[in-house]
Structure 1
């Protein structure tokens, strides 16, 4: 695995680029060198996790022009300018315009490394604070919550934030019960379409002879039994979001008509020749590989490509077991409030039962168990094995895996209660501080995520 570049170094002189590259690489700082500012600007990604070192005097776009353009993309990006002896006043002025620091030629390798390290520390803190603000803003927005601390779920939430307010159609992939409609609703609620309709259609639940009328609507008298005009789901979702669940179940002949409506963004009701303009965002969901279905002639390839602008992949619950206790607790608390029943907290003896189960029904199955725990738990002493037949089957994980999952869950719970405070968590768990540090590293935990 290659590290992402931490430094973009811009200088029009090859020997200076080579020397700087060697200096930074020897200090374990990855670097990408460019001979002109235009090329570097084109390769500068959004939320670049590193810093930029740029010479001031260069042909075409000089360092000051680069500074202005780069800061217009990200005002917090640390940019270190390199200047000759006679340009110090110019560099000081540039710092007032937002440059992080400047280096005067000739500079020593140690000076370059020190300034870059300080800038990287500042950049790291800036991005951490930015991410925290985004998470807090997302949690304060009314609407669905996507719960989970695993890297896969963090990536999913990030992708949702990135694409929610765009016009791009989205294809959601996930097994039954993973929460595809929840993701679709999140895309809708976090977009500017949130005030429009969110219209959900399960293509597999509507009878084939009715689905065309359901989607496109009909005029009075369009067919036997059509006594009055009906607005279809596509037209009803104009200004909002149309969610097509189980899109793989849509009949092939109807896929042709759906493709045309999505491409032209208009719809014709059955029995009418008048196209009606629609403004909608389509989110489709499937539990099968549509690419494979298209290859086998079971799904139209052109519709697949039309829907597959952005793909969001939801991992099954068995691939994010660390989230299981957190999800169960959430669902149990929601059910407890709904049914007005007090319940005991999940005990440390119950966690391994949840972790060992294979969860073929994914989050939906876990939510159902949490509701049974609230409604029926008192009758069986809140025994999960009685509420969930087969929960004692530990074949999904060997003993070592079960112990590690259990240990990781206990550490997460302690860090959560102590809001990431290592000293308090050490005392709560009754283990030495070094042992806790070692286990936090072993399980890839970041105590900062437990501070809020």
Structure 2
């Protein structure tokens, strides 16, 4: 099994052969071409590799090759090699969509690091495409629930299933795991997609106002009730009502909410008129509702009524493998919103991110992505990052070694120390895995 597929394009035979030998020794599957036109015959939208090309070549140069490749697949990484000091050409290449550029002759270690990084990106892009195909006709809102771990794939499947069922649903998970994102996906992929989605943060409402906010009131129902007010439940008629942090609702209001769930009827404060509502209720809780019921802080009958269909969202710490995908997506989204160039995400940064505890879950990761895009220090993460000055730099080799060691250790744990499965998961030969384990003093039980 190869480390990855690489197309090499260079019209100088000795240079092309040197690249071929360097990459082959590291386990890459190399396809070497002397002309860009010949290389194009191998490239398809689902080709699972990358392209490394010289810029200055006869007939079709590297920039034209880049343009032709982007017509086939805009997300296929192309690394261009420029003559020493040809900065203007390198900048032009990046503007036209090159993944990266290297000066000729490239440093072998640097070349291997850039190629490995580009291949990881390519594999990620193709994996996302595969997941979209597996989801079939699943609409975009479900695809916005990012993650390639089994837990997240299963979560998307459950959301798609429950969305069509149009049943009241309880979404549980720690703060910042994405409960509202799941609720919106349930709404947008269900039969009520064209109607209102009304979100209520129950914890943000004062106890004295929450009943009026939910059920509405008539003019004169209480002091300062100068006019009739339509409550959130009535306003959500025909659509979806999302009650976030439902455990914050006082017990006296829970009684009235139970009637809404059972009978789909409400009464505004100060009125005897019964109003029928047609809504789907999605409730979210960050606490353990069963424990709150035992403590007498949440009504058991309301809990049982909500607990028919439940979605539990894993914490970020339970799906660390998703961090590179999530962080990259957030950086791209934030950079596009702010009309900035997305900064490069280094292997060292990803390594630091994957060692963090993430008490704030995905929301915390997104906050760090925002800081990273606009160039602010990453708070508690900054001390773990290496200094950037030449004296303090740990060097490329050390950074790559550290990231590689951690990746192998995590893969061993994930695959329960099984060498064959771990090698397949990492997409490297067994022999290479054994050599790397020996190099980093890793054991099967790591």
Report the TM-score, using the length of structure 1 for normalisation.
0.57
Q: Residues 105-141 of structure 1: CA distance to partner in whole angstroms, max 9, x if unpaired?
A: xxxxxxxxxxxxxxxxxxxxxxxx9986452422x53
Query: Which residue matches 2:190?
Result: 191
Instruction: Provide Cα deviations, 1:331-371, integer angstroms capped at 9, x if missing partner.
Output: 00001001111133211121110000000110000000001
- Cα separation, 2, equivalents of 1:405 and 1:284: 39
TM superposition shift of 1:432 = 4.0
Structure 2 match to 1:365: 364
Q: Deviations over 1:136-177 (max 9, x none)?
A: 422x53677100000111111010011112132111110000
Partner Cα distance (1:355, 1:256) in 2: 44
How big is the shift at 1:183? 0.4
3-state SS of 1:176 partner: coil
Q: How does 1:225-244 map to 2 (within 5 A)?
A: 225-244=224-243
Displacement, 1:185? 0.3
Pick one of 380, 386, 390 that aligns with 1:389.
380
Runs (5+) with no aligned partner, structure 1: 1-128, 378-385, 395-399, 411-421, 440-452
The 5-angstrom pairing of residues 3-402 of structure 1 reads 133=133, 135-138=135-138, 140-141=139-140, 145-377=144-376, 386-390=377-381
Q: Taking structure 1 as reference, are residues 319 and 142 closer, same or farther at Cα in structure 2, changes over 3 Å only?
A: closer
**1:302, 1:373 → 2: CA distance?**
46
- What are the Cα deviations for residues 244-271 of structure 1, in whole angstroms up to 9, with x where unaligned? 1111110011001110121110111111
- Distance in 2, Cα, partners of 1:347 & 1:130: 25
Contact 2:289–2:298, Cα closer than 8 Å, also in 1: yes
- Name the CA distance, whole Å, in 2 between partners of 1:201 and 1:353: 36
Query: What displacement does 1:376 show?
Result: 1.9
Q: Does the 8 A contact of 2:163 with 2:190 survive in 1? A: yes
Cα gap change, 1:185/1:408 in structure 2, threshold over 3 Å: closer, same or farther?
farther
Kindly state the Cα deviation for residue 221 of structure 1 after the two structures are TM-superposed. Answer: 1.3
**In structure 1, how many angstroms separate the alpha carbons of the residues matched to 2:361 and 2:294?**
28
| Partner residue in 2 for 1:12 | none
**Residue 438 to residue 302, structure 1, CA distance change in 2 (3 Å):** farther
Kindly provide the CA deviation profile for residues 70-109 of structure 1, in whole angstroms up to 9, marking residues without a partner as x: xxxxxxxxxxxxxxxxxxxxxxxxxxxxxxxxxxxxxxxx
Q: Which residue of 2 aligns with 1:406?
A: 407
- In structure 2, the CA distance between the partners of 1:409 and 1:347, relative to structure 1 (3 Å rule), is farther
- Looking at structure 2, the residues matched to 285 and 152 of structure 1 have their Cα atoms a distance apart, in angstroms, of 19
SS at match of 2:147: coil
* 1:373-421 per-position Cα deviation (integer Å, ceiling 9, x unaligned): 11125xxxxxxxx413146569xxxxx99866534899xxxxxxxxxxx
Question: For 2:221 and 2:160, how far apart are their aligned partners in 1?
Answer: 42
C-alpha distance in structure 1 between counterparts of 2:383 and 2:318, whole Å: 19
Contact kept, 8 Å, 2:348 with 2:403, in 1: the verdict is no
Q: Residue in 1 aligned with 2:81?
A: none
SS in 2 for 1:137: coil
How far, CA to CA, are the matches of 1:313 and 1:204 in structure 2? 20
Q: How many aligned residue pairs are there?
A: 282
Change (3 A) 1:164 1:330: same
In structure 2, what is the Cα distance between the partners aligned to 1:230 and 1:364? Answer: 34
Secondary structure of residue in 2 paired with 1:165: helix
**Any gaps of 5 or more consecutive residues in structure 2?**
1-128, 386-400, 412-422, 437-446
RMSD between aligned residues: 3.2
The alignment partner of 1:349 has SS state of helix
Equivalent-residue separation in structure 2 for 1:279 and 1:404 (angstroms): 56
8 Å CA contact 1:355, 1:402 repeated in 2? no
3-state SS of 2:171 partner: strand
Distance 2:255 2:329 in 1: 42
Q: Secondary structure at the match of 1:228?
A: coil
Q: Distance in 2 between matches of 1:258 and 1:361?
A: 30
User: How far apart are residue 213 of structure 1 and its match?
Assistant: 0.4
Structure-2 change in CA distance of 1:347 and 1:131 (3 Å): closer
